[in-house]
Amino acid sequence: MPNVVLESFAAATPVIGSNLGSIRELIRDGESGFLFEPRNDASMAQAMEKALAPGWAPGAGEFARQFMRNTLSQDLHMRRLLALFESVRAGRATAS
């Protein structure tokens, strides 16, 4: 996961990112930022114009911060990891 996206979300700042790999998995297009097509200047410019729309960024930034807290927090990650370890130890490994 790109740290810059996670750090931006933690700071309640929406992100404009390329529609590739884990970036597209993190950014919810139109909610926590905007995605643009790789190597497409027009697509990137359109994403930037959307992000500069009056009043959009504060709500998107808060959405991004809440997404980070509710989905990607260290506490949640540790709870999921411990649950996985416990299930392996008990002989019932599950992927989640």
pLDDT tens sequence across 1-43: 688 998 898 888 889 999 999 999 999 999 989 999 999 999 9
Take residue 17 and report the two structure tokens written for it. 């990112």
What is the per-residue DSSP string for 57-83? HHHHHHHHHHHHHHHS-HHHHHHHHHH
Mean of the per-residue pLDDT values for the chain? 88
Residues whose CB falls within 8 Å of the CB of residue 22, separated by 6 or more in sequence, listed in order: 1, 2
Q: What's the pTM?
A: 0.71
The answer to whether the CB of 65 falls within 8 A of the CB of 10 is yes
d(CA 75, CA 13): 21
Question: If we measure between CA atoms, which residue out of 74, 70, 72, 58 comes closest to residue 14?
Answer: 58
Q: What integer pLDDT is reported at residue 40 of this predicted model? A: 98
Amino acid letter, residue 51: A
